A and B are shown apart, each in its own frame.
Chain A
Amino acid sequence: EVQLLESGGGLVQPGGSLRLSCAASGFTFSTYALSWVRQAPGKGLDWVSVISGSGGSTNYADSVKGRFTISRDNSKNMLYLQVKSLRAEDAALYYCVKGFCGGDCPSDDAFDIWGQGTMVAVSS
């Protein structure tokens, strides 16, 4: 069974940092791009970042560029998101999501597997 399990969320003060992790299983990890998508309480979905299967290509939403860093360890089937300089508007449930297409995929690929999310709260 394909699974994604996020961890690392918590309560952080404004300006603080966290490292979110996502453990993957049930598929050939290095073949698929992975993304982070967040959802503030009671709000819609907000794409954050994507990393290619090899890890050699990354992209970020403008709202997090320069503050968040996505990475992956294909030897451990792990995805990470280092979040820094956190703001109140970053508070959300952060989902780890798997790209639908394997290999060299277009930018408009779908997300076929979602984790259950890890919550990030930002408050002083």
Chain B
Amino acid sequence: QSVLTQPPSVSGAPGQRVTISCTGSRFNIGAAYDVHWYQQLPGAAPKLLIYGNSNRPSGVPDRFSGSKSGTSASLAITGLQAEDDADYYCQSYDSRLRGVVFGGGTKLTVL
């Protein structure tokens, strides 16, 4: 069981908006540690999508956005496209475990 909880799957039609939640605790997200998001396409290595809760690296479309509140964070994807079909992971740091923690991952299916 992952320290950060994500829904196993979400889906949406092309053009729609979806959100993926990442729920932690007072030892990680709630302790003001940053949350980062990664996209993993089938057969590929993960790619940094959002860093520092809400910042996009160069080259990431503004269709992707991140937010954080309390002990949770969210990734929103607007204007869904077929190429967004992938696994998404959140990441933070846990002060009780004294290490980096990942969410269990969410499979996004573009219908």
Chain A interface residues toward B at CB < 8 A: 35, 37, 44-47, 50, 59-62, 95, 100, 106-112, 114-117
Known: A108-B93, A111-B91, A116-B45. A100 touches B102 (CB 8 A): no
B31-74, CB under 8 A of A: which get 1 and which 0? 00110101000000111100110000100000000000000000
Contact size range, B: 20 to 34
Known: A44-B102, A47-B100. A108 touches B46 (CB 8 A): no
Chain B interface residues toward A at CB < 8 A: 2, 33-34, 36, 38, 45-48, 51-52, 57, 89, 91-93, 97-105
Option from B34, B47, B48, B102 in Cβ contact (under 8 Å) with A45:
B102
Q: Which residues of A contact B101 (CB under 8 A)?
A: 47
Check A107 against B91 for contact (C-beta < 8 Å).
no
The binding surface of chain B is classed by DSSP as strand
Give the complex CA separation of A110 and B105 in angstroms: 16
Check B2 against A44 for contact (C-beta < 8 Å).
yes
Option from B34, B57, B104 in Cβ contact (under 8 Å) with A44:
B104
Check B36 against A110 for contact (C-beta < 8 Å).
yes
Give the complex CA separation of A83 and B60 in angstroms: 35
Q: Which residues of B contact A109 (CB under 8 A)?
A: 34
Give the complex CA separation of A111 and B98 in angstroms: 17
Among B33, B48, B99, B105, chain A packs the most CB atoms within 10 A around the CB of: B99
Q: Which residues of A contact B38 (CB under 8 A)?
A: 45, 111
Taking the closest CB of chain A, its distance from the CB of B2, in whole angstroms, is 7
Check B48 against A61 for contact (C-beta < 8 Å).
no
Give the complex CA separation of A110 and B92 in angstroms: 8
Among A59, A61, A100, A110, chain B packs the most CB atoms within 10 A around the CB of: A110
Check B89 against A44 for contact (C-beta < 8 Å).
yes
Check B51 against A100 for contact (C-beta < 8 Å).
yes
Check A59 against B89 for contact (C-beta < 8 Å).
no
